[in-house]
Amino acid sequence: MNSAIETLAPYAFTALRQRKEALQAQGIELLDFGVGDPQDPTPAFIRQALTAALTPESRYPTSAGLPELRQAIAGWFGRRFGVTLDPDVHVLPANGSKEALFNLGLALLDDPRRGPQAVGVPELAYQVYADSARLHHAEVIPLPLDTDWLPDLNALTPDVLGRLRLLWLNYPNNPTGAVAPPSYYREVLALAERWDFYVASDEAYSELWYDSPPPSLLQTGLERAIVINTLSKRSNMTAYRSGLIAGDAQVLATLRNVRPRMGVATPEFIQQAARAAWEDEAHVTAQRLRYAERRQLFIEVLARKELVVDASAATFYLWVRVPERVAGRSSREFAEWLLERGIVVLPGEFLGARGAGHVRLALVPPLETCQRAVEILDSVL
Amino acid sequence: MNSAIETLAPYAFTALRQRKEALQAQGIELLDFGVGDPQDPTPAFIRQALTAALTPESRYPTSAGLPELRQAIAGWFGRRFGVTLDPDVHVLPANGSKEALFNLGLALLDDPRRGPQAVGVPELAYQVYADSARLHHAEVIPLPLDTDWLPDLNALTPDVLGRLRLLWLNYPNNPTGAVAPPSYYREVLALAERWDFYVASDEAYSELWYDSPPPSLLQTGLERAIVINTLSKRSNMTAYRSGLIAGDAQVLATLRNVRPRMGVATPEFIQQAARAAWEDEAHVTAQRLRYAERRQLFIEVLARKELVVDASAATFYLWVRVPERVAGRSSREFAEWLLERGIVVLPGEFLGARGAGHVRLALVPPLETCQRAVEILDSVL
């Protein structure tokens, strides 16, 4: 078997799910801000688009996807970011963003007998970037985060840069809610050109913002840039597994060659639902307002109790510093303390050592649940 | 990038699809027996099961799948093959069978720096078995077929067996329609135990039979055996991407660990449709009758014209020998000759050199189209 499997950490969300289910089986009522799994309904027009496309006769979907879906995605990039993409050259649909980012390793990483290869992953990040690198036999380089929660590019020595094949970014960021400025993207792509590596930007949270829409890596350039996005957060479509890959023409050409062999084609009835979702912004605006309302509740109670919220400019996460008055002051202990009071949060340590001083709150439960949680926080903090 | 990509043949079905579309764009009407893509409708009760599960609220599916789907699959194995499977130990849902068989390579093949590793693939086979092996940096060993169209195990030298990690089988077979007897499976699993490799059996066509139901590898044993099956052919659900992986407990445990990281979870509304499909046999019986009726038409005309049909005991394929009277006698030339007469078939050469003397007819078009094709054959052969 693949010996890299032994080096993988347990899949965190599986572990968290099991722990929660065990507590709930004991009859404990939990207000769950732990997992970033949107709970609001998928808009009816999207479900209707799926049902309308569910014909008696059907056929194998292609991994290249329906032209009208690629067109809808390119259109969205144009309207949202002012980026012009050719739907036949720069865009592919994906079977959800996890599939897309996991499988990027298969295409971009080589036979390890042909030389050393490394993948740069922020020290606090979604587990799958590193898991994919390890399972495809590449070295994982954890990148320290600077005070703005951005990977510190100065930490990349010439030695590491020489074997770097791929660098992962994720802004707006999970778990910190930090946003990367265009100047940072310019710096990264310049470095990628100088040292011949690709930059993959997971932009799953790009639409969940509060004050101003965050930029995309593709606004800085298409060459060496690969963006992965998804309808999971934007349109509450986690159940549908529908995302996109866009960017560098050569990488996309390689993916168009490799992906038909991989079984990653999305059912066409889902592609039609996805098309409807990318073509509409009204439901996204409405969803942003829902998160803003919940966020305001928490921001207020946390400020009143003198807890510090770091970053958290976008995404549906709040990145809350463990207060000094909590014994031990580790994120695990604070999370455990909150759990005993009925509130599930994610200990920052779950995502890496750098997260030890913070817990992550995912503002996904309905407003009423948020209000109850805020009342609890008001009384116990 | 992955240098194995350069060694891959163009994806055959993409090429075939493009060629057909080019001809159709010229206004040429084609009766298409080329691609094994079922055209009959998905039964209404399956579509209804999907629609009923398409709730406003939803969540991330898990790659472990819904317990009720795993139970339905285990139940089906019990009724169909008399094999007892523990749904929590021996069964996983897959996002279609192509995904399952492609990704098996990631789990079972190791870092190539740790030693040589080979994958055995029948010389005539679905392209993805070898593509997956190459993209995961293993050597591909093409296995010659014996006169029964079964991989000749005597061709496996001790040298090859020493580095063999995985052997692919596919019975009922695409393209030949051959069926493997239980004695062959016993021989293969005994060899696998002696030489420490896994046997992966793609049983996508197990339900499309005429005289008697073909066996499953799992009837011979679970250890070292991995079966992949799908609803694509059995229930006309190519569009849904839903299949299964079953067998060896240790391999399945590894897959339960690795697959949550890969983005291969099937949407739950599709899992509910899949559950309904595995729990029903009536629609499968009806579908078998449809294929039998079409097959009879072709068997008759081909016999009358003294064309030889080899194997073809199961699947919806007919494996037809290129007649002596066709100039050149290559499968490409015969296919081209038929194409000029409006009938699309797959040249056996497309699937490997051993197929050069045959063409493959996929009996997927409706009866009326089959009748028209038979009339053409009757007049031109």
What HEC string does chain A produce?
A: CCHHHHHCCCCHHHHHHHHHHHHHHCCCCCEECCCCCCCCCCCHHHHHHHHHCCCCCCCCCCCCCCHHHHHHHHHHHHHHHCCCCCCCCCEEEECCHHHHHHHHHHHHCCCHHHCCCEEEEECCCCHHHHHHHHHCCCEEEEECECCCCCECHHHCCHHHHHHEEEEEECCCCCCCCCCCCHHHHHHHHHHHHHHCCEEEEECCCCCCECCCCCCCHHHCCCCCEEEEEEHHHHCCCHHHCCEEEEECHHHHHHHHHHHHHCCCCCCHHHHHHHHHHHCCCHHHHHHHHHHHHHHHHHHHHHHHCCCCEECCCECCEEEEECCCCCCCCCHHHHHHHHHHCCEECEEHHHHCHHHHHEEEEECCCCHHHHHHHHHHHHHHC
pLDDT at A288 over 90: yes
Q: What is the pLDDT of residues B171-191, one digit of tens each?
A: 999 999 999 999 999 999 999
Give residue-wise pLDDT tens across range B296-329.
999 999 999 999 999 999 999 999 999 988 767 7
Alpha-carbon radius of gyration of chain B? 21
Give the mutation candidate from B231, B264, B369 for the A interface (greatest A CB count, under 10 A): B264
- Name every chain B residue with its beta carbon within 8 A of the beta carbon of A109: 2
Average pLDDT over residues B276-305: 98
Q: Which of residues 238-277 of B touch A (CB under 8 A)?
A: 238-241, 251, 254, 257-258, 260-270
* pLDDT band of B12, cuts 50, 70, 90: low
In this complex, which of A39, A131, A261 lies closest to B261 when CB atoms are compared?
A131
Do A261 and B42 make contact, defined as CB atoms within 8 angstroms?
no
Which residues of chain A from 16 to 45 reach within 8 Å of chain B, CB to CB?
A: 17, 37, 39-42, 44
Q: Do B1 and A107 touch (CB under 8 A)?
A: yes
Place of tokens 């077929």: B145
**Which pair of tokens denotes residue B132?**
């997956």
Domain with CATH 3.40.640.10 in chain B: 55-278
Q: Which residues of B touch A14 (CB under 8 A)?
A: 62, 260
Is the pLDDT reported for residue B330 higher than 90? Answer: no
If residue B225 lies in a helix (H) or strand (E), which one and from where to where?
A: strand B225-230
pLDDT digits (tens, 9 = 90+) for A144-156: 999 999 999 999 9
Q: What is the pLDDT of residue B141?
A: 98
Range of lowest pLDDT (A23-27, A348-352, B158-162): A23-27
| C-alpha dihedral (B346, B350, B353, B354), degrees to nearest 10 | -40
Q: Would you tell me which CATH number, out of the four given (2.60.40.420, 2.130.10.10, 3.90.1150.10, 3.10.129.10), belongs to the domain B3-41+282-380? A: 3.90.1150.10
pTM of the model: 0.96
pLDDT at A12: 67
- In chain B, CATH 3.90.1150.10 sits at 3-41+282-380
Note which residues in 319-378 of chain A have CB less than 8 A from chain B: none
At residue B328, the pLDDT reads 73
pLDDT at residue number B329:
77
Determine contact: A71 vs chain B, CB below 8 A. Answer: no
pLDDT at B19 over 90: no
**Which positions 143-182 of B are in contact with A (Cβ < 8 Å)?**
none
DSSP B8-62: SPP-HHHHHHHHHHHHHHTT---EE-SS----SPPPHHHHHHHHHT--SS--PPP
ipTM above 0.85, yes or no: yes
Contacts of A281 (CB under 8 A, 6+ apart): A79
Helices (H), chain B: 12-25, 44-52, 67-81, 97-108, 127-135, 158-163, 182-195, 231-234, 249-258, 268-278, 282-304, 331-340, 367-380
* Closest by Cα among B182, B126, B120, B174 to B151: B120
CB contact under 8 A, B238 and A4: no
From 3.40.50.970, 3.40.50.150, 3.40.640.10, 3.10.310.10, which CATH number describes the A54-278 domain?
Answer: 3.40.640.10
Q: Does B125 touch chain A (CB under 8 A)?
A: no
Dihedrals phi, psi of A186, to nearest 5 degrees:
-60, -45
A103 contacts in B (CB within 8 Å)?
262-263
| Cβ distance of B51 and A51 shorter than 8 Å | yes
The C-alpha of B18 sits at a distance from chain A's nearest C-alpha, in angstroms, of 12
Return phi, psi of residue B190, to 5°: -65, -45
Average pLDDT, whole number, for chain B? Answer: 95
CB B58 within 8 A of CB B268: yes
CATH 3.40.640.10, chain A: domain bounds: 54-278
Q: What is the CA radius of gyration of chain A?
A: 21
pLDDT at position A27: 84
Residues 6+ apart with CB under 8 A from A22: none
Contacts of A106 in chain B (CB under 8 A): 2, 106, 135
- The answer on pLDDT for B371 being more than 70 is yes
For residue B324, what is the DSSP state? T
H or E element, residue B120: strand B118-122
Query: How buried is residue A340: exposed, middle or buried, by Cβ count under 10 Å (0-12/13-18/19+)?
Result: exposed
**Given the structure tokens 């003397």, which residue do they identify?**
B357
Shortest distance, CA A375 to any CA of chain B (angstroms): 26
Cα distances (Å, whole numbers) of residue A199 to A78, A247, B327 = 21, 10, 55
Chain A's closest residue to B59, CA to CA, is A239
> pLDDT tens for residues A190-236?
999 999 999 999 999 999 999 999 999 999 999 999 999 999 999 99
**Measured between CB atoms, which of B11, B107, B263 is closest to A102?**
B263
CATH number for the domain running over B55-278: 3.40.640.10
Minimum distance, in Å, between the CA of residue B87 and any CA atom of chain A = 18
